[in-house]
Structure 1
Amino acid sequence: MYVTGLVTALRAEASCVSSMRVPLNEMVQINDYTVLCLSGMGAEAARIAAEELLRQGVTALASFGVAGALDPCLKPGDLVLPGVIIHSTDQLPVNVTWRDRLQRLLPTDITVINGVLTDSAVPVTDENAKRDLAHVTGACAVDMESGAIAVVAAEAGIPFIAVRVIVDPVQFSPPQALLGAVYPDGGVNSLHLMALLLKRSVHLRTLMQMGVGMRAARKTLSRVIQSAGVGLDSQETDRLIA
């Protein structure tokens, strides 16, 4: 029997998997087939979470959350189920059998892209930087955690998939100034944010646009869970990839 370890960086992502309050950096048993970890943002946090999930006995890993678009055709709410993860200069595969089965379970009105997903050591907060990254890597989307999780899975010889939904298009990114007001789990320091608004370092319309993107992304993430289950069909995965 495969037990899937889900790694999410943000609390907003974890809430699409479970309504329980998930503590940061703790393993939460969702059911017999699924363990969830809210890692916080970044590759190092994701690596630590994935390694701890292995110690807890999971036999498959999934990176679950949001991503930034590198392809101008992608919009918030579009689902990226990549076949390749670019981590530094390495290309790491996903388990295509598992990915394809998951994709067949999804509603047909969800836009699904099977492109390349690349990682970034830092948030990509500029349109030109996104276009440059797309040119160098050939990727359609970027996140900060999937590459690290893929490395852990590859080293352990266990199945891995990434389930990433676009939260911001190429033309829009969260401003650099906002990053200092964000906690590792994606929560916001309200006092710091208010100061940024008063200084006009961040504009209200920017926050509203970010909220629209996150709502669209969370809607798709929730529909993936509703269609495939919190283990992303781990029982069938056991049969297909054993």
Structure 2
Amino acid sequence: MSLVGIVTAMRAEAKCITPRRLPFNEMVHLREGTAIWVCGMGSKAARQAAAGLRDRGVSALMSFGVAGALDETLRPGDLVLPERIHAEYSHPVALEWRARIMQHLPEHVKIAGGTLATSQQVLTSEAEKREFSAKNGACAVDMESGAIAEIAANAGIPFVAVRAITDPLEFSPPPTLMGAVYPDGSVNVPHLLTLILRRSVNVSTLLRLAPSMRAACATLLSVVKHADIELGGTFLPQY
């Protein structure tokens, strides 16, 4: 029996797959054929999760979540299904698996291909994004897919990335905001309020971030709804 291992960095991403409150940093079986691991942000955490899933017998790995746009034509809610992942090394995805996912999706979902690059740090300005894009030839960026792709390549198992755009090229979360975010993506509310009071973070910035995240999550929910069989099976609420 095949077992798809899905790696997500943040709980908000995982909630697009299951309503369950998942434990942090461990493998959870969602149903027959599907397992998930909420690992936290960054390559180190993603590598640990992917290796953990590999060691527990998954036969394929998926990077699932959000990404930042490096292409000015990509907007919040657009879906990136890359043909290639670029980090320290370049890794192809399983193109047949990718094609099957695309076939299931409704026409209203805008899909981009190309290269998804992994950054070791959050890109916090349009200038940083443009420089990173020029260096890596990528249309979008995240912080986890490169490590997951590397584990899959070394294990000789299929890999695919499913990433929805949150921040467009011209807008990025300010670096000060990252201090108010826990590793699983949840918000440290007291710290955030302190940043707002000190005017280190503008309320207008937060108001812009929220709808972008909602648009990305709506797209990920659409992927789960229409292409669930390619994520390892039909997802049903389990409590």
Q: Which residue of 1 aligns with 2:57?
A: 57
Q: Which residue of 1 aligns with 2:180?
A: 181
SS in 2 for 1:197: helix
Deviations 1:146-166 (CA, angstroms, capped at 9, x unpaired) = 000000000000000000000
Q: Report 1:11-160 matches (<5 A).
A: 11-88=11-88, 90-160=89-159
Deviations 1:131-173 (CA, angstroms, capped at 9, x unpaired) = 1111111100000000000000000000000000000000100
Aligned-pair CA distance for 1:233:
4.8
Q: Which runs of 5+ in 2 are unaligned?
A: 234-239
SS in 2 for 1:174: coil
SS in 2 for 1:177: helix
SS in 1 for 2:200: coil
SS in 2 for 1:211: helix
In structure 2, C-alpha distance between the alignment counterparts of 1:232 and 1:202, rounded to whole Å: 40
Q: Which residue of 2 aligns with 1:202?
A: 201
In structure 2, C-alpha distance between the alignment counterparts of 1:138 and 1:233, rounded to whole Å: 28
SS in 1 for 2:116: strand
Change in 2 beyond 3 A, CA 1:91/1:2: same
Aligned-pair CA distance for 1:234:
3.7
In structure 1, C-alpha distance between the alignment counterparts of 2:76 and 2:226, rounded to whole Å: 19
Q: Which residue of 2 aligns with 1:238?
A: none
Are the equivalent residues in 1 in contact too, given 2:4–2:231 (CA < 8 A)? no
SS in 1 for 2:74: coil
Equivalent position amino acid for 1:64 in 2: F
Equivalent position amino acid for 2:177 in 1: L
Equivalent position amino acid for 1:49 in 2: A
Aligned-pair CA distance for 1:195:
0.6
SS in 2 for 1:161: strand
Deviations 1:2-60 (CA, angstroms, capped at 9, x unpaired) = 21000000110000010000111011111101000000000000000001111221100
Equivalent position amino acid for 2:205 in 1: T
Aligned-pair CA distance for 1:232:
2.4
Deviations 1:174-229 (CA, angstroms, capped at 9, x unpaired) = 00010111100001111110010001110111001110110000000000000111
In structure 2, C-alpha distance between the alignment counterparts of 1:5 and 1:151, rounded to whole Å: 14
Q: Which residue of 1 aligns with 2:237?
A: none
In structure 2, C-alpha distance between the alignment counterparts of 1:189 and 1:102, rounded to whole Å: 35
Equivalent pairs, count? 233
Equivalent position amino acid for 1:192 in 2: H
Equivalent position amino acid for 2:105 in 1: L
SS in 1 for 2:219: helix
- CA-based RMSD of the aligned residues comes to 0.9
Deviations 1:52-108 (CA, angstroms, capped at 9, x unpaired) = 1112211000000000000000000000000000012x1100000000011010001
SS in 1 for 2:217: helix
In structure 1, C-alpha distance between the alignment counterparts of 2:48 and 2:58, rounded to whole Å: 14
In structure 2, C-alpha distance between the alignment counterparts of 1:233 and 1:183, rounded to whole Å: 27
Structure 1 segments (4+ residues) deviating >6 Å = none
In structure 1, C-alpha distance between the alignment counterparts of 2:170 and 2:191, rounded to whole Å: 26
